[in-house]
Amino acid sequence: MDTIVSPNNKSRKKINEKKDEEKSSQNILYKNIINKISESDLIINKNIEWLKDIDCNTGEKTNNGWIQFSIDVSNFGFTTNEIKFVYNKEIFSNFIIDFLGEFLIRTNINEFLKEVLSIDEDEYLYLASREKHKRFGAKINENYSRLLLSFHVSFLQRILTEDFKFQISY
């Protein structure tokens, strides 16, 4: 018995092939981005700061547990045009932003710990337990020269706990 191939099956096959090609090219772009990041001399901007909320009742700025920092885009091997036109969609994917944020924090953890040590211990405990870090926030400035990343302080707590567990296991 001969297999009948309908036009719908042919078009589905072409669509699936196209998706596979796109996925493959996206994986290559991700590899290129990660290679550029990991081979770069990444130095974060010393302007690490706590993001503040405005208290509705008092009008005062209060700490919300989120920390923001920035990095010069050229520090991790990209030109402005590459950010705008070549890698824009991929760079701002959750995968790359989370990878970049975690990589920067782990390689510059002392800078972030200095900021955490600048607040009261009780306030830190409150902020760290208030919510859990899920994803990094990211935006780029108008001239595409600086990438601003933000994260919740509970992420530092998680890293420190992992490091502590690793240290006591040996």
What's the total number of domains in the chain?
A: 1
2 found inside a domain = no
**pLDDT higher at 144 or 53:** 144
Give residue-wise pLDDT tens across range 35-48. 766 665 555 555 66
Q: Which domain holds residue 23?
A: 7-168
1 found inside a domain = no
The pTM for the full model equals 0.68
Check pLDDT > 80 for residue 137.
Answer: yes
130 found inside a domain = yes
3-state helix/strand/coil string of 67-135: EEEEEEHHHHCCCHHHHHHHCHHHHCCHHHHHHHHHHHHHHCHHHHHHHHHCCCHHHHHHHHHHCCCCC
Rounded to an integer, the average pLDDT of 86-91 is 75
Check pLDDT > 80 for residue 108.
Answer: yes
